[in-house]
């Protein structure tokens, strides 16, 4: 038994190493991960992402295209741009990306970076600012049938012709035109997924409401090229929500314009008539400047509210002129000015007949004195007469003396009375 004792430590060490190394050597990799690695090598081992995914050169790649809007960020009336946050839904078939799921662990779909595969160069034609193509290259979803589904998000600033005639109760028609930039219809053809824009994930805007959004398929031959290029154009009908502008713009303008009428209800002796008119004119000028900051700088269309403010300013200016004339006439007197003949004939003869008014009788007799007559008002004198020509008959002599009572002297008694005397 003694010879076998020295071999026991060596056997123990060998058994320990066997227990430690056996799981690392014999443990197989996860079946799904191994199948996915083999699938990647199978698909992209000799894949060329610059070649169109067609078996023959004459074949056409059909790209099904759809649009889903997430948010209407802004509508810039000044620069005539519409900013939107959209998702571009694209789907096509790539014969080089097909596989048999039974050979690769029943894997039916795979997500790969979009930089690894061929993707159509679809851009926004009417881009106003920013990038024409998608910047955020998200992963594409591959299916075993060769179908590729790619939905990248993008923020576009598209050109939009703004019509501000009925501002702020206006409705705008904007469009977004998508198409391939380099491939004509013989190479890539577009097919709309839906006839309308997907609004399921739309975030409501506080200023604009989307009334309608439809898409149409078009083909066009441009002057630069001989080929025909397809495109899918989406038309957005958006309506402005006018509550903000009604409270902060329309109602104040109407109230300030109404103050112009109140100027003529102020008495002429009030010195604030001109001040009120000028204040109204300055207020309307401020509101007109606010509108010019919102609407585009174009001479083709003038908003109705701008025309309203412009004509109101003209009427306020006329009211200032009329108020100055009224104050000038009010502060005239017979001592400072003579009434012109045309004024007397127009207002006292013609206008009085139009208004069915009668002129008061000239000279009024004083009560109790038939020979004393008042000098008539200058407006009641006969035409062409002066105050010296109007007869004023006065009595030759008029005296008036108040009667004062005469004091009667008391009779004095000749007999003095004593304190003890009786009554009188």
At 14-24, the pLDDT tens digits run 554 554 544 44
pLDDT category of residue 320 using cuts at 50, 70 and 90: confident
DSSP-derived letter for residue 115 is: G
Question: Kind of pairing, strands 153-159 and 369-373?
Answer: unpaired
User: What rounded mean pLDDT belongs to the chain?
Assistant: 79
More confident residue, 400 or 360: 360
More confident residue, 57 or 407: 57
**Distance set, CA 210 to CA 84, 260, 294 (Å):** 12, 39, 21
**Distance set, CA 357 to CA 339, 350, 361 (Å):** 20, 10, 13
Residue 183: which of 61, 271, 76 has the closest Cα? 61
- Averaged pLDDT, 34-50: 89
More confident residue, 135 or 82: 82
**What's the pLDDT at 210?**
94
Least confident of 25-39, 89-103, 209-223, 248-262: 25-39
- The answer for residues whose C-beta is within 8 angstroms of residue 169's C-beta and 6 or more apart is 240, 242
Q: Name residue 158's beta-bridge partners.
A: 82, 127
Residue 176 main-chain phi, psi, to 5 deg: -130, 120
CA distance 218 to 135: 26
CA distance 103 to 109: 13
DSSP-derived letter for residue 272 is: T
**Of 117-121, 372-376, 387-391, highest mean pLDDT:** 117-121
- The answer for residues whose C-beta is within 8 angstroms of residue 296's C-beta and 6 or more apart is 77, 78, 79, 80, 162, 164
**What's the pLDDT at 421?**
47
- The answer for residues whose C-beta is within 8 angstroms of residue 328's C-beta and 6 or more apart is none
**What's the pLDDT at 306?**
84
Largest CA distance in the chain: 196
Task: Say if residues 264 and 321 touch (Cβ distance below 8 Å).
Answer: no
Task: Read off the tokens for 17.
Answer: 């190493």
Task: Say if residues 251 and 287 touch (Cβ distance below 8 Å).
Answer: no
Q: Name residue 404's beta-bridge partners.
A: none
- Examine the pLDDT at 384 and tell me if it is beyond 70: no
Helix (H) or strand (E) holding 148: strand 147-150
**Distance set, CA 340 to CA 27, 330, 351 (Å):** 123, 15, 16
* In the block, residue with structure tokens 């739309």: 202
At 203-258, the pLDDT tens digits run 999 899 999 999 999 999 888 888 899 999 999 999 999 999 899 888 988 888 88
- Examine the pLDDT at 29 and tell me if it is beyond 80: no
pTM of the model: 0.67
- Examine the pLDDT at 104 and tell me if it is beyond 70: yes
- Averaged pLDDT, 15-40: 60
Task: Return the number of other C-beta atoms located less than 10 Å from residue 93's C-beta.
Answer: 17
Task: Read off the tokens for 396.
Answer: 């030759």
Reduce the DSSP state of residue 275 to 3 states and report it. Answer: helix
- Examine the pLDDT at 85 and tell me if it is beyond 60: yes
**What's the pLDDT at 93?**
95
Task: Say if residues 111 and 274 touch (Cβ distance below 8 Å).
Answer: no
More confident residue, 60 or 130: 60
**What's the pLDDT at 72?**
94
pLDDT category of residue 263 using cuts at 50, 70 and 90: confident
Least confident of 25-34, 105-114, 129-138, 262-271: 25-34
Percent of the chain with pLDDT over 70: 75
Task: Say if residues 175 and 233 touch (Cβ distance below 8 Å).
Answer: yes
Percent of the chain with pLDDT over 90: 35
Reduce the DSSP state of residue 174 to 3 states and report it. Answer: strand
Q: What is the Cα gyration radius of the chain?
A: 51
Task: Say if residues 153 and 70 touch (Cβ distance below 8 Å).
Answer: yes
At 167-184, the pLDDT tens digits run 889 999 999 999 999 899
Least confident of 41-45, 138-142, 167-171, 291-295: 291-295
- Examine the pLDDT at 294 and tell me if it is beyond 90: no
Task: Read off the tokens for 70.
Answer: 């997430």
């Amino acid at each position: 038994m003694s010879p076998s004792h020295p071999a026991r430590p060596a056997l123990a060490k060998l058994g320990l190493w066997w227990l430690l190394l056996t799981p690392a050597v014999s443990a197989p990799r996860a079946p799904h991960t191994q199948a996915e690695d083999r699938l990647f090598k199978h698909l992209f081992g000799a894949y060329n992402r610059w070649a169109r995914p067609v078996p023959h050169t004459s074949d056409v790649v059909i790209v099904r295209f759809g649009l889903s809007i997430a948010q209407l960020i802004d509508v810039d009336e000044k620069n005539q741009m519409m900013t939107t946050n959209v998702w571009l839904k694209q789907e096509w078939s790539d014969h080089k990306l097909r596989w048999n799921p039974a050979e690769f662990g029943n894997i039916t779909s795979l997500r790969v970076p979009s930089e690894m595969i061929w993707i159509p160069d679809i851009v926004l034609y009417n881009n106003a600012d920013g990038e024409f193509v998608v910047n955020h290259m998200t992963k594409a979803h591959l299916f075993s049938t060769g179908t590729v589904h790619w939905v990248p998000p993008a923020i576009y600033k598209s050109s939009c012709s703004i019509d501000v005639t009925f501002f702020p109760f206006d409705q705008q028609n904007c469009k977004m035109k998508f198409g391939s930039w380099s491939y004509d219809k013989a190479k890539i053809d577009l097919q709309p997924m839906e006839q309308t824009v997907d609004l399921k994930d739309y975030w409501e805007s506080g200023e604009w409401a989307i009334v309608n959004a439809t898409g149409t398929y078009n083909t066009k031959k441009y002057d630069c090229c001989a080929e025909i290029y397809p495109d899918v154009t989406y038309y957005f009908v958006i309506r402005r929500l006018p509550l903000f502008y009604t409270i902060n713009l329309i109602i104040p303008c109407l109230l300030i314009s109404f103050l112009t009428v109140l100027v003529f209800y102020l008495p002429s002796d009030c010195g604030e008539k001109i001040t009120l008119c000028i204040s109204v004119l300055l207020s309307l000028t401020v509101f007109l400047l606010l509108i010019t900051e919102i609407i585009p700088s174009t001479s083709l269309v003038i908003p109705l509210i701008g025309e309203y403010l412009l004509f109101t300013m003209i009427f306020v200016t006329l009211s200032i002129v009329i108020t100055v004339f009224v104050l000038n006439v009010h502060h005239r007197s017979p001592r400072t000015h003579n009434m012109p003949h045309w004024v007397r004939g127009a207002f006292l003869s013609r206008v009085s007949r139009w208004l069915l008014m009668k002129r008061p009788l000239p000279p009024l007799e004083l009560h109790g004195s038939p020979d004393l007559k008042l000098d008539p008002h200058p407006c009641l004198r006969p035409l062409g007469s002066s105050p010296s020509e109007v007869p004023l008959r006065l009595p030759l002599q008029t005296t008036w003396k108040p009667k004062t009572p005469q004091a009667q002297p008391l009779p004095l008694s000749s007999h003095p009375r004593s304190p003890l005397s009786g009554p009188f």
